[in-house]
Amino acid sequence: MTSSAARAQIGVTGLAVMGSNIARNFAKHGYTVALHNRSVAKTDALLAAHGDDGDFVRTETIAEFVAALEKPRRVLIMVKAGDATDAVIEELAGAMETGDIIIDGGNALYTDTIRREAALRARGLNFVGAGISGGEEGALNGPSIMPGGPAESYESLGPLLESIAAQVDGTPCCTHIGPDGSGHFVKMVHNGIEYADMQLIGEAYHLFRAALDLDPKQIADIFTQWNSGELESYLVEITAEVLNQVDALTGKPLVDVIVDAAEQKGTGRWTVKSALDLGVPVTGIAEAVFARALSGSRGQRAAAVGLAAGELAAKPTDIAQFTEDIRQALYASKVVAYAQGFDQIAAGSAEYGWDLTPGDLATIWRGGCIIRARFLNRIKEAYETDPTLPSLILAPYFRDAIETAIDSWRRVVSTATLLGIPVPAFGSSLSYYDALRAERLPAALTQAQRDFFGAHTYERVDAEGKFHTLWSEDRSEVPAG
Ligand code: 6PG
């Protein structure tokens, strides 16, 4: 560690675990990294523990920090999303010059990023909202990075980010996503898919325990096996590790001593709120968010234990068959979750004029991030073959995969229902699929009801225009005025 003026290629402010690990990742890749943290103790702790990782510049004040950077200056902010981000941006912007780049690597709400980008652009600064996925380990060894913001800033910033990102088949898991808030929007939907994927895995696990009476170790072995097939993914892999973990205090499976109330920091909820505004049915993600909320309603749940279950069916006896059914249901539901997430990305892109390329996102999610999975290669191929696919589940590969899975999927949802085991994400994903492929939906009745009580009008299958029926009078139809 040395210090001299204006020689760092990148600065990192906010040196909690994610910030420290990203700073170390840059240093390991040969960049000189200026370090800053509100309390200098964190900077010193990082240098004491990992100063040998590469070339760091220790700074104490924002002025010193900014002065340590070569131009155009590149500063990565890694602080808790929210007010802290605005405070740091304000301080930095006051010390920076036209053309400098501020990157927000936190899980910011994309509408905040749109606002911040516009405000900084007006001051001559480039603002890049970058989604970064991969947790602590990814930050250190190669995350997936989703940078938005002005295309010009990517020219100077892209090579740095691409070199520290995860690489799959020689391709970095980082690309310029699009203007202003698009990087954080895409990261938000990534997290929504992460919620859905985790919920689906949770439902599979619950079925193994409640329908097949398997123990965590046996279930871990199944997940390990699944991880060598089409379900291969980071989340399936870590599920096996989690289920194999034994609690040091009690000797029980660790999963059995953890309180079953899932928390959330907010990105899943944001995804669903945004989907509601955009009118995109992200049912799998929504069920996952609500499932966490229900699990967290501990008082209500305690009061409801013992409520009638009704007459329950017998448990499946063919364990191998039902295990395969669960695997198929998981795969098909996962395809639905991704299809819905990509629909939301397309809708966001249209709403904000971002011109996003879905195939690029599938490409950069293949490594580094929490939802990395083998089948992202298939998603990438599907969008490369047809960038305007109306739905991912219409791509030949996924259409066939669901056709193979459909009988199993139905057996899992119906068996779970008959056994009183909740499967909100499996069930809603199957209903979504059935609704999407239906020739007629009961929405015609909804339209009729709306016209009945509110004269809201409806369209006819055999004529153009809007119609209203005089329901209580002579029942004749009149074109709506
Ligand atoms: C990632 C993760 C990361 C974080 C989630 C957890 O991509 O690296 O998604 O961003 O672990 O935000 O979110 P919850 O606390 O809401 O589960």
pLDDT at residue number 1: 47
Kindly give the confidence (pLDDT) of every residue in the chain, 481 residues in length, as a single tens digit, with 9 standing for 90 and above. 444 578 999 999 999 999 999 999 999 999 999 999 999 999 999 999 999 999 999 999 999 999 999 999 999 999 999 999 999 999 999 999 999 999 999 999 999 999 999 999 999 999 999 999 999 999 999 999 999 999 999 999 999 999 999 999 999 999 999 999 999 999 999 999 999 999 999 999 999 999 999 999 999 999 999 999 999 999 999 999 999 999 999 999 999 999 999 999 999 999 999 999 999 999 999 999 999 999 999 999 999 999 999 999 999 999 999 999 999 999 999 999 999 999 999 999 999 999 999 999 999 999 999 999 999 999 999 999 999 999 999 999 999 999 999 999 999 999 999 999 999 999 999 999 999 999 999 999 999 999 999 999 999 999 999 999 999 886 667 666 5
How many angstroms separate the alpha carbon of residue 382 from the centre of ligand 1? Answer: 27
Residue 187 is among the residues annotated as catalytic for this protein? yes
* Nearest residue to 177 via CA among 135, 128, 133: 128
**The pTM is what?**
0.96
Question: Which residue bears the tokens 């007459």?
Answer: 311
Active site residue 97: no
- Cα of 282 to ligand 1 centre, how many Å? 18
Contact 128, 148 (CB under 8 A): yes
Query: Cα of 364 to ligand 1 centre, how many Å?
Result: 17
Beta strands 74-77 and 144-147, pairing class: unpaired
Cα separation of 429 and 417, whole Å?
15
How far does the centroid of ligand 1 lie from the alpha carbon of residue 319, in Å? 34
Q: What is the pLDDT of residue 480?
A: 63
Ligand 1 pocket test target in 267, 289, 364, 371 with most atoms within 8 Å of CB: 267
Helix (H) or strand (E) holding 89: helix 83-95
**Residue pair 371/288 in contact by the 8 Å Cβ criterion:** no
Query: What pLDDT is recorded for position 475?
Result: 66
Q: Which of 187, 203, 287, 334 is catalytic?
A: 187
The residue whose C-alpha atom lies closest to atom 17 belonging to ligand 1 is 264
CA angle 116, 119, 123 (to 5 degrees): 130
Residue nearest to atom 6 of ligand 1 (CA): 265
CA distances from 246 to 31, 85, 241, 243, 259 (A): 41, 39, 10, 8, 15
- Using CB distances shorter than 6 Å, the residues near ligand 1 are 107, 133-135, 191, 194, 264-268, 369-370
Report pLDDT for 84: 92
- Which atom of ligand 1 is least distant from the CA of 107? 10
Query: Hey, CA dihedral for 183, 187, 193, 196, is it positive or negative?
Result: negative
Closest residue by Cα to atom 10, ligand 1, is: 133
| Nearest residue to 342 via CA among 395, 297, 306 | 395
Rounded CA-CA distance 28/361 in Å is: 26
Determine the residue of 265, 361, 364, 372 to mutate for testing ligand 1's pocket, defined as the one with the most ligand atoms within 8 A of the Cβ atom: 265
Q: What pLDDT does 472 receive?
A: 87
Asked if 429 and 203 count as a contact pair (C-beta separation under 8 A), the reply is no
Instruction: Using the atom order of ligand 1, give the atom closest to the CA of residue 371.
Output: 7
Residue 108's pLDDT is 97
- State the catalytic residue, choosing from 42, 60, 80, 194: 194
- Measured from the Cα of 198, ligand 1's closest atom is 17
Q: Which residues contact 111 (CB under 8 A, 6 or more apart)?
A: 181
CA of 191 to the centre of ligand 1 (A): 6
What's the rounded Cα separation, in Å, for the pair 479 and 375?
50
